[in-house]
């Protein structure tokens, strides 16, 4: 290591020596030739020998001074900031994403390093939030998996009891079926969201009747609204064709409608569709419990459940999926809601081809 440093010192000194020797020799030769020609002086061997020795010593001294100045400049302007960045980089590699580098106060002298430091700090911040998201995600998934699994385990254990009345046996079996369904839906949603986020699902663009699709989606909840006495209101414009991915959009209506029914105990669920030449706008409203302003800021986050009384009926992934699909379709989704009065989700979609979507065969 030390040997390398010495060799590096000598090589940088050699560069200055050669440069200074070249510059001084050229100047001296020019000066001496001009002087001897103008003054008509004849230079003797001794004169030249003395001048050459002096010049050589001069070159040595100048190059030495340059080398020292360069070494100090290098240490202050290059090695010191590089060391700071390298040390921070090593901390990041060992998993400490909280590290940040203090920028240099003399922005003029360290402009390039300050730009690198700025990018580095941003990268560390992004990595830190990704890490938090990853650990939160794992914690959420584990929690969501554990709850139905322990319920299944409990019902399973209770079913072992030999003299269990028939109605209890049916109740426990129902509990097992219901919780397995929850688990399956959780895993399906995680996989779907993962595929959508990693762009493993390539949305295909096909022309289809959005009016028809909305009616079909709504009809899937017929049993529910009849059982619970929920009123239905529709104002769906006829034959509104759009170019989009029907399957992914089906997922959107299904989630929005299932939430509208889930959060409405008595009241009305309404579906509206209007369109102009370029855009189709779908409104799904309910007169249910509504969403508070605080909850409203989180509803599109993964695993977020604002209303814990309905937690068992979902997993907090529905609206995250909806948002992802709408983003892929380059559409817009907005929510208006008032606690105790209900909520309206509005989805605005382009009717024409969306850039980046493949055409269906
Ligand atoms: P979940 O599966 O829990 O319903 P979502 O992602 O679909 O998860 O919804 C997230 C949260 O948004 C819900 O827990 C609830 O607090 C709120 N929310 C969504 N839709 C409605 C609605 N129509 N009325 C009231 N709250 C809603």
For 185-237, write each residue's pLDDT tens digit.
888 888 888 888 776 667 788 999 999 999 999 999 999 999 999 999 999 99
Ligand 1, pocket residues at CB < 6 Å: 255, 259-260, 263, 286, 288-291, 295, 299, 304-307, 314-320, 343
CB atoms within 10 A of CB 343: 24
Q: Which of 262, 294, 299, 300 to mutate to test the pocket of ligand 1 (most atoms within 8 A of CB)?
A: 299
Region of 161 please: left (phi>0), alpha (psi -120 to 50) or beta. beta
Positive/negative CA dihedral, 63, 65, 68, 70: negative
Q: Which two tokens stand for residue 251?
A: 């997922």
Per mean pLDDT, which range of 64-78, 116-130, 328-342 is the poorest?
Answer: 64-78
- Alpha helix ranges (H) inside the chain: 2-39, 45-74, 80-93, 111-159, 166-197, 210-219, 222-228, 246-262, 293-296, 318-328
Return the residue matching tokens 């030249």: 48
Asked if pLDDT for residue 1 goes beyond 60, the answer is: no
Return the residue whose CA atom lies nearest to atom 15 of ligand 1: 306
Mean predicted lDDT score pLDDT of the chain: 88
Return the residue whose CA atom lies nearest to atom 23 of ligand 1: 260
Per-residue pLDDT tens digits for 14-57: 887 788 788 888 888 888 888 888 888 777 888 888 888 888 88
Mean pLDDT of 287-296: 94
Cα gap 215→146, rounded to integer Å: 37
Mean pLDDT of 270-291: 96
Q: What is the pLDDT of residue 360?
A: 60
Q: Which of 266, 287, 306 to mutate to test the pocket of ligand 1 (most atoms within 8 A of CB)?
A: 306
pLDDT-derived band at 260, boundaries 50, 70, 90: very high
């Amino acid at each position: 290591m030390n040997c390398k440093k010495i060799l590096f010192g000598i090589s940088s000194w050699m560069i200055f020596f050669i440069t200074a020797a070249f510059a001084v020799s050229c100047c001296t030769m020019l000066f001496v030739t001009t002087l001897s020609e103008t003054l008509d002086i004849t230079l003797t061997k001794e004169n030249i020998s003395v001048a050459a020795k002096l010049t050589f010593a001069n070159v040595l001294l100048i190059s030495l001074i340059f080398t020292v100045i360069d070494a100090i400049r290098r240490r202050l302007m290059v090695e010191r900031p590089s060391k700071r960045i390298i040390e921070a980089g090593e901390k990041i590699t060992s998993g400490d994403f909280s590290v940040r580098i203090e920028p240099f106060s003399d922005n003029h002298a360290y402009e390039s390093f300050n730009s690198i430091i700025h990018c580095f700090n941003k990268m560390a911040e992004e990595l830190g939030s990704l890490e938090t998201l990853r650990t939160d995600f794992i914690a959420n998934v584990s929690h969501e998996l554990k709850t139905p699994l322990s319920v299944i385990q409990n019902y399973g254990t209770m079913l072992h009891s030999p003299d269990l009345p028939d109605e209890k046996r049916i109740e426990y079996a129902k509990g097992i079926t219901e919780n397995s369904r929850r688990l399956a839906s959780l895993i399906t949603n995680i996989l779907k969201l993962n595929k959508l986020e990693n762009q493993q699902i390539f949305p295909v663009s096909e022309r289809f009747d959005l009016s028809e699709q909305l009616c079909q989606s709504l009809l899937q909840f017929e049993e529910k609204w009849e059982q619970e006495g929920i009123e239905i209101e529709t104002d769906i414009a006829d034959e509104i064709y759009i170019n989009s991915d029907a399957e992914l959009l089906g997922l959107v209506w299904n989630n929005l409608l299932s939430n509208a029914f889930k959060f409405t105990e008595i009241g009305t669920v309404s579906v509206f569709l209007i369109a102009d030449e370029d855009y189709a706008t779908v409104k799904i409203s309910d007169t249910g419990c509504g969403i508070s302003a605080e909850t409203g800021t989180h509803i599109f986050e993964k695993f977020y459940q604002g209303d814990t009384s309905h937690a068992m009926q979902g997993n907090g992934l529905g609206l995250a999926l909806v948002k992802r699909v709408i983003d892929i379709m380059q559409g817009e989704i907005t929510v208006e809601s008032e606690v105790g009065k209900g909520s309206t989700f509005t989805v605005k979609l382009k009717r024409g081809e969306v850039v980046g979507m493949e055409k269906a065969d």
